[in-house]
Amino acid sequence: MTDQTDDEPGWIPFRWLAETRTLQEETYLPVAYGVGDFAALNPAQLANYWTFNLWAAVDELSEFSREVRWKPWARDGGHVKDRAKAIEEIVDALHFVGNLLVSIDATDDELWAAYAAKMERNRRRQDLPGGYDGVGAEDGLDVVSLVLDPVAEAVTPYEQARINTYDGAKDLIRCRAVASFWAAPEISVSDVAAGAAAEPASYTLHEVSQRGGTIYVDASYVGGGSNATQIRRYAAALAQHAHLNIQEHDVTLVHTLDVTVLKKGTQP
């Protein structure tokens, strides 16, 4: 595993909501409501906007149902009539869902963080003794934790050395985040933590915890323009040191805990 270069993009590949908001505020809102941003909509206009986007999304999903044989009692149930058309209908529905999200000022970072957290919650539910009971009770799993460096508030010797020599265009940043992956229950937190010694000094492992079959990695990364994507990569690398077949796409970024600028970059 190698460090991220300063020019690598963040973990969100496409700013879906940012693009959706721009499209709506530049093209639709001026025509439909005579305003150029969502903040200028009055309550009646906003209610109208929510109503038609909500029902438009529902209608697009119903159109998806026409492109698949969804009836389990039918002889030909369970197959796709027109795959390209089915994808198109879901994309149409997502446009209206995106409109609803930007109308309440949701951002891409908020959306994907909430989505990742929900995926992780669903994984945890599968680990519950007897399965998920449907009412949200997820406290039936014991948590095993190995705390290595819980504070990490002071500048470390490695960070100080980077501060002394850093002259990059982007800010030198310490990003701390929690990532998770599913592993076989027999894998211990010590197995995962053992791989930290083989990883670059730009990473600091603070804690490894285990809940059921899910491993949580709390770590920091220091680099130019550092972002939480690096913690996903680090968690995958630790899993591989523990002889698990885990790739970066198998890791969920659960939460970004802290972003600290250690030194300003040369770029204005």
**pLDDT tens digits, residue range 80-99?**
999 999 999 999 999 999 99
Residue 125 placed within a domain: no
Q: Give how many domains the chain has, as a whole number.
A: 2
- The answer to whether residues 205 and 250 belong to one domain is yes
Beta bridge partners of 218: 178, 207
pLDDT greater than 60 at residue 185: yes
Q: What is the pLDDT of residue 4?
A: 41
Per-residue tokens: 251:
């890791």
What DSSP letter does each residue of 124-135 carry, written as one string?
A: HHHTSTT---SS
Computed over every residue of the chain, the mean pLDDT equals 83
The pLDDT score that the predictor gives to residue 182 is 82
AA identity, residue 255: H
**Are 205 and 159 part of one and the same domain?**
yes
Statement: residue 126 has pLDDT above 70: no
Asked whether the whole model's pTM tops 0.85, one would answer no
- Which residue segment(s) compose the domain that 169 sits in? 143-263
Tell me: do 221 and 151 sit in the same domain. Answer: yes
Is the domain of 259 the same as that of 150?
yes
Q: Is the pLDDT of residue 212 over 80?
A: no
**pLDDT category, 147, cuts 50, 70, 90?**
low
Is residue 11 predicted with pLDDT exceeding 50? no
Q: How far apart are CA 175 and CA 2, in angstroms?
A: 17
Q: Does any domain span residue 91? A: yes
Model confidence at 2, in pLDDT bands (50, 70, 90)?
very low
Q: What is the pLDDT of residue 55?
A: 96
| Secondary structure of residue 218 in the 3-state scheme | strand
Q: Which residues contact 219 (CB under 8 A, 6 or more apart)?
A: 176, 177, 179, 203, 204, 205, 206, 231, 234, 235
Q: Tell me which DSSP letter residue 198 carries.
A: G
Which tens digits make up the pLDDT trace of 100-122?
A: 999 999 888 788 777 877 777 67
Domain membership flag for residue 111: no
With DSSP H G I counted as helix, E B as strand and the rest as coil, what are the percentages for the chain, rounded to 5?
Answer: 45, 20, 35
